[in-house]
Every structure is written in structure tokens, then in C-alpha cells.
């Protein structure tokens, strides 16, 4: 059977919309996240390769932010070792990396990725925050700022677009929701679309 493409995924979602109101879709459905956590992702767009399944089994996304991050680690520009830091942060508390937590605002900006700089939008928000600081604030926090700017310099070329990957994550989530709640319909639609 052929892999799920974005076009076919959108067709499958449209077919299922006769029975599911996707405008009211809950983004915290445990049955849907179980699909990802168990890497039961045949027919899930962007999630069918062995590499994708491996990452899912390691990250075990339990919310939408983690799902978007998992897809970005597998399909974005992020350098592979960062996924292991991300996973370690998820499992080890307290965790001392990165030292961004010295700056409460930076910690807040990075909260949806557990302290890892992953999104271009995070970089922009951090730089905007630094620009808004007074000279006194910059002086008081110069060591922490230096660490953050060094990380941005190292990671700048490998940051992903959050909006893009959240849009992709929503497609994946809708497919997994259908698979979790309408398994027979999902199998039928999947086989029909992916043998064409």
C-alpha cells in the first residue's frame, strides 16, 4: 500500500467529516494520543516511516505541542542530537539544561518545547525581549543573555517554523482521531485512497 500524502490525508478527512465535526475537535483526546504513543501510525501522514515511529515511541507525545515538536524533530531542520536532549528533559526533573531558565521570560517563551529552542518564532520572541530590556536589565543578566545568544547562534540555521509544523500536526491529529474513533471507516478510506 502507498504512503499517505497530504492530498490523500485531506481527502480522507473530508470523507470522515460526514460523521465528525472537525470544527469542534478536542485536542486533548487520550485515545488519539495513544495512536502516536504506540506508533500505530499506518495511514497517518508524515508518521509512517520507521524513523518517525522510532521518534514517536521515544517522545510519546501527550499534547499538541509535543506532537508538533515530534514532527519537527523528524521532518524539520533540527539537528538529531537535540531530540535526545528534548526527551531527557521530559524524563528527568529537575533538569539543568538549558540555563535559559535564569531568565523567566525566556523560560516562558520556551515552555511549549520544554526549554529547547526549536522554533524560529521562539528566536524572534527572545530577541524582541532582549531589545526591550533596559541597559540596567541587560547588565544584570549579561551572562544569561550571552548563553542564550550563543545558543541562538548555534541553532539559528536549524530552527523550524512553528506555524507550519502545527498545521502538519493538526492533519496528523485528525487522521489519528479518525483511526481511534472510527477504525473500520479509517481502514476502508485508507485502503481506498492509498491503493490508487
Give DSSP secondary structure letters for 109-139.
HTGGGTT---BHHHHHHHHHHHHHS-HHHHH
In angstroms, rounded to a whole number, what is the distance separating the alpha carbons of residues 166 and 81? 22
- Report which of 160, 68, 169 is spatially closest to residue 118, judged by C-alpha positions: 160
Among 39-53, 89-103, 117-131, the minimum mean pLDDT is found in 89-103
Rounded CA gap, 110 and 129, in Å? Answer: 13
| All cell numbers assigned to 151 | 545558543
Question: How many residues are listed for the chain in this entry?
Answer: 196
- Structure confidence by residue, pLDDT tens digits, 107-156: 899 888 888 888 999 999 999 999 999 999 999 999 889 988 988 998 88
Report helix, strand and coil shares of the chain as percent, to nearest 5.
Answer: 70, 0, 30
What is the pLDDT confidence band of residue 95, given thresholds at 50, 70 and 90?
Answer: very low
Sign of CA pseudo-dihedral 23, 11, 119, 80: positive
d(CA 46, CA 127): 32
Quote the CA–CA distance of 84 and 163 in Å, as a whole number: 23
Question: Residue holding cell 545558543?
Answer: 151
Burial degree of 62 (CB within 10 A; 0-12, 13-18, 19+) = middle
Cell of 96: 539543568
- Mean pLDDT for 175-189 is 97
* Integer Cα distance of 166 and 65 in angstroms: 8
> Which of the pair, 33 or 106, is modelled with greater confidence?
33
Domains of the chain plus CATH, in order, are 1-76+161-196 (1.10.150.700), 99-159 (no CATH)
pLDDT of residue 83: 58
Note the pTM of the prediction, 2 decimals. Answer: 0.86
Give tens-digit pLDDT for 58-68.
Answer: 889 999 999 99
pLDDT of residue 81 exceeding 60, the answer is no
- Segment holding 176, helix H or strand E: helix 162-181
Neighbours of 177 (CB within 10 A): 23
Amino acid at each position: 500500500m502507498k504512503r499517505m500524502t497530504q492530498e490523500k490525508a485531506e481527502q480522507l478527512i473530508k470523507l470522515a467529516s460526514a460523521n465528525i465535526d472537525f470544527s469542534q475537535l478536542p485536542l486533548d483526546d487520550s485515545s488519539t494520543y495513544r495512536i502516536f504513543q504506540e506508533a500505530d501510525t499506518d495511514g497517518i501522514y508524515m508518521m509512517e516511516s520507521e524513523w518517525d515511529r522510532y521518534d514517536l515511541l521515544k517522545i510519546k507525545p501527550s499534547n499538541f505541542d509535543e506532537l508538533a515538536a515530534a514532527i519537527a524533530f523528524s521532518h524539520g531542520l533540527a539537528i538529531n542530537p537535540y531530540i535526545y536532549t528534548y526527551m531527557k528533559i521530559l524524563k528527568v526533573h529537575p533538569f539543568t539544561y538549558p540555563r535559559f531558565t535564569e531568565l523567566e521570560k525566556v523560560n516562558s517563551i520556551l515552555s511549549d518545547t520544554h526549554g529547547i529552542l526549536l522554533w524560529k518564532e521562539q528566536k524572534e520572541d527572545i530577541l524582541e525581549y532582549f531589545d526591550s530590556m533596559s541597559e540596567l536589565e541587560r547588565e544584570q543578566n549579561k551572562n544569561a543573555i550571552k548563553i542564550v545568544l550563543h545558543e541562538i547562534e548555534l541553532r539559528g540555521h536549524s530552527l523550524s517554523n512553528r506555524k507550519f509544523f502545527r498545521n502538519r500536526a493538526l492533519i496528523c491529529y485528525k487522521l489519528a482521531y479518525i483511526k481511534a474513533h472510527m477504525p473500520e471507516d479509517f481502514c476502508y478510506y485508507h485502503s481506498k485512497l492509498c491503493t490508487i
